[in-house]
Amino acid sequence: MRAHFLGTGPASGWPAYGKETEKRRRPSTYAFECGEAKFFIDVGSWEAALEGAKRLGNVDFILISHAHVDHWGGLNFFRWGPEMPTFSIKETFEHPYFREIKDAPFSLKLLEVRPFETFEIKGVKITPFPLNHSIPASGFLVECGSKLAYALDTKWLPQESLELLKGSVDYLIVDAALPKGEEGAHNTYEEALRLGKEIGAKVVFAVHLLPSVREAEVLAEGEALGVKVEVPDDGDSFEL
Ligand SMILES: [Zn+2]
Ligand SMILES: [Zn+2]
């Protein structure tokens, strides 16, 4: 499986309006290729979606984690094209934040998935699992050769989700938004790395970092905890 990290930023992106950062990070947009299958998990940025679609050549389907706009704002890019299967939990489609897409999906074909019910599309096995966030949100366990868990946005994980992932995940892409010690509906980067360790992931990809989180701190924390961590930039791709 090949993973393209196209939008690794939080809701504000990097830089947030009126601020400056040394690099740019667009909101959550991740593209994957595995065998015949080409798909996105979250499309928070129209621009990142365009870049990903160019890289992939065609897109077979999209998974959406939750109704916060930094995870689906780029769906507009796909709304006037060929039919696009778009999977999420019922709570996303019914959430007021998602109303415009629900009312006028055009070429998006909205398909409901349920927690812990595995489905298969184009040779990829996908199991949705609940996350802990400020609104209902779903992670996805993706099995295609290797096993990848996508867990954002979340604060740690509900027990059942933790049990699903423990010992059965090679790679974890995880919400590591907050500075150490900060409270909120997201992991601190330290919690994100501890979660990766608990699950037994071979590599933890720490993403959704707020601009105040220094990448060097995240890497140092990984070293201290004995967790192999990557902090990918927008545009990076990895063979998993
Ligand atoms: Zn987010
Ligand atoms: Zn969110």
Q: What tens digit of pLDDT does each residue of 74-127 get?
A: 999 999 999 999 999 999 999 999 999 999 999 999 999 999 999 999 999 999
Predicted confidence band at 212 (pLDDT cuts at 50, 70, 90)? very high
* Domain 2-15+22-235 in CATH 1.10.10.10: no
Of 233, 229, 203, 232, nearest to 218 by C-alpha is: 229
pLDDT confidence bin for 186, thresholds 50/70/90? very high
> Averaged over 187-201, what is the pLDDT?
98
For residue 71, give the ligand nearest its CA. 1
- Cα of 35 vs centre of ligand 2, distance in Å, is 30
| Ligand 1 centroid from CA 212, angstroms | 16
Distance 208 CA to ligand 1 centre (A): 7
| Contact present, 153 and 175 (Cβ < 8 Å) | yes
pLDDT tens-digit map of 164-174: 999 999 999 99
Measure 36 CA to ligand 2 centroid, in angstroms.
30
Ordered by start, the domain boundaries in the chain are: 2-15+22-235
> What pLDDT digit, counting tens, does each position of 22-71 carry?
999 999 999 999 999 999 999 999 999 999 999 999 999 999 999 999 99
pLDDT at 71: 98
- The amino acid at 12: S
d(CA 66, ligand 2 centre) in Å: 7
Contact 123, 100 (CB under 8 A): no
Give yes or no for a contact between 4 and 148, defined as CB atoms under 8 angstroms apart.
no
Helix (H) or strand (E) holding 192: helix 189-199
Residues 15-19, mean pLDDT to the nearest whole number: 95
The per-residue pLDDT for 184 is 96
CB 95 within 8 A of CB 83: no
pLDDT tens-digit map of 222-236? 999 999 999 999 999
- 119-160 pLDDT tens trace: 999 999 999 999 999 999 999 999 999 999 999 999 999 999
pLDDT recorded at residue 67: 98
CA of 183 to the centre of ligand 2 (A): 15
Number of residues written out for the chain: 240
Ligand 1 centroid – CA 178 distance (Å): 12
Mark the residues whose beta carbon lies below 5 A from ion ligand 1: 70, 153
Q: How far is 82 from 98, CA to CA, in rounded Å?
A: 21
**Ligand 1 center to residue 28 CA distance, Å?**
7
Kindly give the distance from the C-alpha atom of residue 35 to the centroid of ligand 1, in angstroms, as a whole number.
29
Q: Ligand 2 centre and the CA of 186: distance in Å?
A: 8
Question: How many C-alpha atoms does 232 have within 13 Å on its Cβ side?
Answer: 24
Distance from the alpha carbon of residue 67 to the mean position of ligand 2, in angstroms: 7
Q: How far is the CA of 68 from the centre of ligand 1 (A)?
A: 6
What pLDDT does 45 receive?
98
